[in-house]
Amino acid sequence: MKKLFQPYQLNDIQLSNRFIMAPMTRSRSSEPGEVPNSLMAEYYGQRASAGLIISEAAQISLQGMGYARTPGIYTKEQTEGWKKVTDAVHEKGGRMFLQLWHVGRVSSSRINGLQPLAPSALIAGNTNVYIFDGASNGDAAFIPVEEPKAMTKAEIDQTIHDFATGAKNAIDAGFDGVEIHGANGYLIDQFLRGNSNIRTDEYGGNIENRIRFLIEVTEAVIKTVGKERTGVRLSPFIKFKDMDDPEILETTMLAAEKLNELGVAYIHLCEADWDDAPGIPYLFRKELRYKFKNTIIATGNKTPSEGEELLEQNLVDLIGFGRKFLTNPDYPERVLQNAVLNEISDPHTLFGGGDARGYTDYPFLF
């Protein structure tokens, strides 16, 4: 594992290793207001041995919220709450980016009191979000998404502004940078794909138009916090949330060319993470490396050995790990020692909960 444990220079940010703690929604923010809290600070601080932590997604507005108790980054109280988190990570020598999120059509008025917005008024089939219905066990209750309203130009402009404001708030909260969430069937991904975007204006139709929203969001964030502090997450091989588009690989490559021109810090590939998921074709990785010259992150249920091989082949630069960091706060050390890993103690604690159970109580190796 020589490559995984090498330091890495992400522009002017020195990472102690090439392990990335991938973003994972945990729904632990305080209500009302979806404010990050001391429990979240403890959770992230425990995992500061990752070369870089990418936070769970934080909605850039109330409109952008799609699941209960997910933290925001659009109010003063939320920004102050995130400061607790970044302080905890930095005190232990870690680095941390915040993921900026708008769910688009993946929402319900039962979450935020608002009709979802999307590129087009197309409901996502077989897609649910969750609320907490007051059951004694505190479990999340899944509900179907609602039909969205097609965004006006004014609503598109406002959302671009909200991404930039969220980025500014993130830097004010002490984050080392931000990641624009353009993956997993959420708003930006909905603009990218022809099956969820049937607009006939400058944001729809051909591939060049469908990447426009992503590029304008990225330009606005770069103008606010700088290209060296801006990453983008994409998921061309993930079709969940009714996102099967035959043109998405071509679209992704064009987007990568434009992001390369903008000089963003990295592209983060969110890859399928179920056990028998199809692998990412070698030729796709080679083409992406050719078109995008800065850092590439790959995340998707990889073993350390699989990550090491991708690093050795120079196909990617950093490797993201999700659930392994969830259950093993000292995951890099456990890999180094070839130690036994903690497993998920109780699936009911993955989303939501007001105490340490299944969140900050996973033991360290030493």
Catalytic residues: 186
Cβ–Cβ < 8 Å for 47, 38: no
Q: Kindly report whether the peptide bond that precedes residue 32 is cis, defined as omega within 30 degrees of 0.
A: yes
- Residue 293 burial (CB count, 10 A): 10
Beta bridge partners of 177: 97
Give the residue from 8, 4, 52 showing the smallest Cα distance to 304: 4
Query: Using alpha carbons only, what angle is made at residue 315 by residues 313 and 317, rounded to the nearest 5 degrees?
Result: 100
Please give the Cα distance from 52 to 253 (Å, whole number).
25
Please give the Cα distance from 66 to 128 (Å, whole number).
10
Please give the Cα distance from 112 to 70 (Å, whole number).
11
Q: Is 9 helix (H, G, I), strand (E, B) or coil?
A: strand
Please give the Cα distance from 303 to 130 (Å, whole number).
30
Give the residue from 56, 55, 50, 47 showing the smallest Cα distance to 8: 50
Beta bridge partners of 181: 233
Question: What b/e string do you get for 114-136 counting C-beta neighbours within 10 Å, with b at 16 or more?
Answer: bebbbbbebebeebebbbbeeee
- Phi-psi category of residue 224: left, alpha or beta, with phi > 0 → left and psi -120 to 50 → alpha: alpha
Q: Is 341 helix (H, G, I), strand (E, B) or coil?
A: coil
Which pair of structure tokens corresponds to residue 342? Answer: 């903690």
- CB within 8 Å of 92: residues ≥ 6 apart: 45, 48, 49
